[in-house]
Amino acid sequence: MALRLVLAAFTLASSLLAGVAGTRAADNGQDILRVFMNQARVLKLDRPVAKVIVGNATVADATVADPTTIVLTGRSFGTTNLVLLDQDGNAIADERVLVSIDEGNTVRVFKQTERTVLSCTPNCEQHTELGATGATP
């Protein structure tokens, strides 16, 4: 019975998250650039970038593929910002970045204060979270 409730809650949560899993998520009226942990996103720019600054490099990493293409990679859970400057030092963009897990293929099992995350692609295997020590928020 308890397992059915967990699976039902997972199905409901997955369907709700699928609606907000686009490239940008709304957060109190502000746009957030979203990338999944251990995955990369290609960002195409209208004009050339000269400098790329990531607020917290442990959360996300940005690489210049060419002057108008940036590759943003999610490193660990959290938020940071991405600042892009042109040759004259003018800001092209200053975006908030949210790095999260791809919720569509995971199951969380709670047993009292412990949480286990299973990545189910295609078979369910335990997922190791950075900094995980028992219960995590």
**Same domain, yes or no: 106 and 96:** no
**Same domain, yes or no: 135 and 106:** yes
**pLDDT computed for residue 102 by the predictor:** 72
Question: Which domain covers residue 93, as residue numbers?
Answer: 23-100
pLDDT over 70 (residue 110): yes
**Same domain, yes or no: 30 and 43:** yes
* Chain segment 8-30, per-residue pLDDT in tens: 433 433 333 333 334 444 444 45
pLDDT over 80 (residue 74): yes
**pLDDT computed for residue 127 by the predictor:** 59
pLDDT over 90 (residue 89): yes
**Same domain, yes or no: 96 and 106:** no
**Same domain, yes or no: 95 and 116:** no
Q: Which long-range contacts (CB under 8 A, 24 or more apart) does 14-23 make?
A: 14/103, 14/104, 17/103, 17/104, 18/104, 21/102, 21/103, 21/104
**Same domain, yes or no: 88 and 127:** no
In total, how many domains does the chain have?
A: 2
Tokens 């650039």 belong to 33
- By C-alpha distance, which of 54, 46, 57 is closest to 92? 46
**Same domain, yes or no: 45 and 88:** yes
